[in-house]
Amino acid sequence: MRIDIISVVPDLLNSPFAHSIMKRAQAKGLLEVVVHNLRDYTPYKHAQVDDYQFGGGAGMVMMPEPLAIAIETLQKDRPYDEVIFMTPDGPTWNQKAANTLSLKQNLMIICGHYKGIDQRIRDHYITMEVSIGDYVLSGGELAAAVLVDSIGRLIPGVLNDETSALSDSFQDDLLSHPVYTRPANFRGWEVPEVLMCGDPKKVEAWRYEQALKRTEERRPDLLQHEE
Ligand code: 6GU
């Protein structure tokens, strides 16, 4: 999969994909993340990319021309399955959406800043809008990093048995069970005995029960299967 990200603060996206599972996904050739500076595409002087909003009001708006040129330039080289705009007024991101996008070939992500982007870009180029939750970030970059990470780890072949996504929270609409490692007794705090009994059936049953209990207590909304 290839993911192109358009940003006015491309440096914000240097580190998030340079470590751990995202690094390995790229080293394996399963994921390619390319970050573009929107200012490289503007036809305006002084690398201008934003301007005052028509109708008045505080806050700048990202101009349509630099974004249209950037999007069209990238689209000349390959077809994109989705052109995604990161915005707090989009539908909220979740695991199901991550699963769906992990099977695509090429994604483009536009990061918003200031008051947002000119609505005409949203009307004519954007195929999908995404928010990562009900709070406001200074720009779309951190949200884009969340998106790429959650998608990238699901690309077939990225995770191995040890890091398998199958037991992740949300993957089956349940939160994860508690986990423990050595020592079995830490400052008098014992690991649950069932985990030491050596019977995989008993362990699995305990884990399921714990996952269900956690979900009932913390996220009962996940147990309402309406789809
Ligand atoms: Cl995608 N962008 C911004 N700026 N703030 C957010 C967001 C996105 N998702 C939640 N808050």
User: 24-81: per-residue pLDDT in tens?
Assistant: 999 999 999 999 999 999 999 999 999 999 999 999 999 999 999 999 999 999 999 9
**Mean local confidence (pLDDT), 6-27:** 97
Q: Which CATH number fits domain 167-226: 1.10.1270.20, 1.10.287.1260, 3.20.20.70, 3.40.1710.10?
A: 1.10.1270.20
CA 68 – ligand 1 centroid, Å:
21
Residue 165 pLDDT > 90, yes or no? no
Residue 130: per-residue pLDDT: 98
CATH code at 2-152: 3.40.1280.10
Amino acid in position 225:
H
Residue 193: per-residue pLDDT: 98
Residue 44: per-residue pLDDT: 97
**pTM summary value:** 0.95
Mutate to test the pocket of ligand 1, among 113, 136, 142, 146 (most ligand atoms within 8 A of CB): 136
Residue 136: per-residue pLDDT: 95
Nearest to 129 by CA among 115, 143, 142: 143
Burial class (CB in 10 A: 0-12, 13-18, 19+), 56: exposed
CA 134 – ligand 1 centroid, Å:
8
CA 197 – ligand 1 centroid, Å:
46
Domain ranges of the chain: 2-152, 167-226
**Mean local confidence (pLDDT), 73-94:** 98
Minimal-distance CA residue to ligand 1 atom 7 = 88
Establish whether domains 2-152 and 167-226 are of one fold.
Answer: no
Nearest-angstrom CA–CA distance, 108 and 33: 10
Nearest to 5 by CA among 76, 64, 59, 86: 86
CA 82 – ligand 1 centroid, Å:
18
